[in-house]
């Protein structure tokens, strides 16, 4: 039985999938199985994956979106630990071995994750070589603010990038898998559920490159503000404190929630959707009335202003 199962949900990623797979096969930790669940690609993704032969197990399915592909891989996984790697990201070679070390030190932990580097194109339109990043200047220890019971931290942001994490397989048995009805914030929603049952460990040194490009799902303007819906519902269900009594102050929670309302408004305003933009700016002000800038955003939007960032 493999120690670690790595699952890649793929969809029309012929430009990046080989670099992603290579970064997994080049890990210093070798006791892995690698599963690619292709979600109905229509480009050369499946052909490229098949070219790797036995080191990579390819599972194909009709397009059902990323949550269904991840869940299929989790059900097929044989490893004691599971990693979920997005099809266009990259791992530095010590990523898996370093996380296994932390699980041995923290047998109570359900997940070990690290910081990550946003991987942008350079002025020539190319992604810089992974080895060009200076990671040695970051200490290779754990972050005490995000190690242990960290439910309260997830009330502010989705700190754990999917590609940066490793999980005990038992976590999915206890907490469930990805909600396939959610098109966005599905990872955040699952991390919150996990954080109610398991402590986690965060590594300070980045071990993942998070590729940035226009086709990413977080750049789509959606009809529902899934982030604020998630946070409002989570607070109603579990409150603002974690299992050992550490809490997020109510004012801090509301301030961050208002920021998310405003960001959703900006996204709609940039594409010309005035009505949902105004509604979101209004929600931001009602959530955090101490901030007059939300009223100014409403006035500016009515006057025809559009953000250009």
Q: What is the 3-state secondary structure (H, E, C) of 194-246?
A: HHCCCCEEEEEEEEEEEECCCCCHHHCCCCCCHHHHHHHHHHHHHCCECCCCC
The per-residue pLDDT for 100 is 98
CA distances from 2 to 24, 30, 47, 82 (A): 14, 9, 25, 10
Residue 45 per-residue DSSP state: H
User: Which domain-ending residue is among 199, 219, 239?
Assistant: 219
Contact predicate 9/70, CB 8 Å: yes
Is 260 within 8 Å of 228 (Cβ atoms)? yes
Is 30 a member of any domain? yes
**Same domain for 265 and 203:** no
Boundary of a domain, candidates 200, 219, 238 = 219
Both 10 and 49 in a single domain?
A: yes
Q: In this model, does residue 216 exceed pLDDT 80? A: no
Position 215 scores a pLDDT of 62
In a domain, 243, yes or no: no
Residues 192 and 293 in one domain: no
Confidence of residue 217 (pLDDT cuts 50, 70, 90): low
225: in domain: no
Using CA of residue 93, residue 96, residue 100, residue 106, what is the dihedral sign? positive
- 134 and 272 fall within a common domain: no
Domain with 74 in it: what CATH number? Answer: 3.90.550.10
Mean predicted confidence (pLDDT) in 15-37? 98
Residue from 252, 261, 270 nearest 230 by CA? 261
Rounded Cα gap, residues 179 and 174, in angstroms: 14
Using the structure block, give the residue that is written with the tokens 């190319």: 126
Q: Are residues 26 and 125 in the same domain?
A: yes
3-state secondary structure of 25: helix
pLDDT at 218 over 70: no
The residue-averaged pLDDT of 150-156 equals: 98
pTM for this predicted structure: 0.94
Please check whether residue 291 lies inside any domain of the structure: yes
The reply to whether 297 and 189 lie within a common domain is no
State the burial class of residue 31 (Cβ atoms within 10 Å of its Cβ: 0-12, 13-18, 19+): middle
In a domain, 237, yes or no: no
- 204 with 301, same domain: the answer is no
Pairing of strands 200-211, 90-91: antiparallel
In a domain, 228, yes or no: no
Number of structural domains, the chain?
Answer: 2
Residues 207 and 271 occupy one common structural domain: no
Instruction: Tell whether 198 is covered by a domain.
Output: yes
Q: Which two tokens stand for residue 203?
A: 């590594």
Whether the CB-CB separation of 247 and 155 falls below 8 Å is answered with no
Residue pLDDT, tens place only, 273-309: 999 999 999 999 999 999 999 999 999 999 998 887 6
Question: What's the half-sphere exposure (Cβ side, CA atoms, 13 Å) at 138?
Answer: 14
Q: Are residues 212 and 261 in the same domain?
A: no
Tell me: do 182 and 38 sit in the same domain.
Answer: yes
Give me the mean pLDDT over the 110-134 stretch. Answer: 96
Rounded average pLDDT over 150-162? 98
In a domain, residue 235? The reply is no
Q: Does the pLDDT at position 203 exceed 70?
A: yes
Residues in the chain: 309
Phi/psi class of residue 185: alpha, beta or left (left: φ > 0; alpha: ψ in -120 to 50)?
Answer: left
Q: Is the pLDDT of residue 244 over 70?
A: yes
The answer on 210 and 304 residing in a single domain is no
Q: Which domain holds residue 261?
A: 249-309
Query: What 3-state class would DSSP assign to 189?
Result: helix
Residues 166 and 299 in one domain: no
């Amino acid at each position: 039985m493999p120690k670690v199962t790595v699952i890649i949900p793929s969809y029309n990623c012929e430009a990046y999938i080989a670099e992603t797979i290579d970064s997994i096969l080049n890990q210093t930790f070798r006791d892995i199985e690698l599963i690619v669940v292709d979600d109905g690609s229509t480009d050369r993704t499946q052909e490229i994956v098949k070219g790797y032969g036995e080191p990579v197990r390819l599972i194909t399915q009709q397009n059902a979106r990323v949550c269904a592909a991840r869940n299929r891989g989790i059900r097929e996984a044989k490893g004691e630990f599971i990693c979920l790697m997005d099809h266009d990201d990259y791992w530095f070679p010590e990523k898996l071995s370093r996380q296994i070390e932390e699980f041995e030190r923290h047998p109570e932990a359900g997940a070990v994750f690290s910081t990550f580097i946003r991987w942008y194109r350079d002025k020539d339109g190319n992604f810089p070589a992974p080895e060009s990043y200076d990671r040695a200047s970051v200490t290779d220890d754990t972050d005490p603010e995000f190690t242990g019971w960290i439910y309260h931290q997830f009330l502010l942001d989705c700190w754990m990038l999917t590609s940066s994490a490793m999980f005990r397989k038992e976590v999915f048995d206890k907490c469930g898998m990805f909600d396939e009805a959610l098109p966005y914030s599905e990872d955040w929603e699952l991390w919150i559920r996990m954080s109610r049952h398991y402590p986690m460990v965060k590594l300070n040194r980045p071990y993942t490159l998070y590729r940035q490009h226009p086709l990413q799902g977080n750049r789509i303007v959606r009809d529902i503000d899934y982030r604020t819906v998630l946070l409002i519902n989570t607070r109603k269900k579990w409150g603002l404190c974690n299992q050992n009594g550490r809490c997020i102050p109510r004012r801090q929670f509301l301030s961050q929630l208002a920021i998310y309302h405003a960001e959703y408004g900006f996204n709609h305003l940039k594409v010309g959707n005035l009505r949902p933009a105004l509604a979101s700016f209004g929600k931001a002000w009602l959530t955090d009335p101490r901030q007059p800038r939300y009223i100014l955003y409403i006035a500016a939007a009515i006057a025809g202003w559009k953000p250009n960032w």
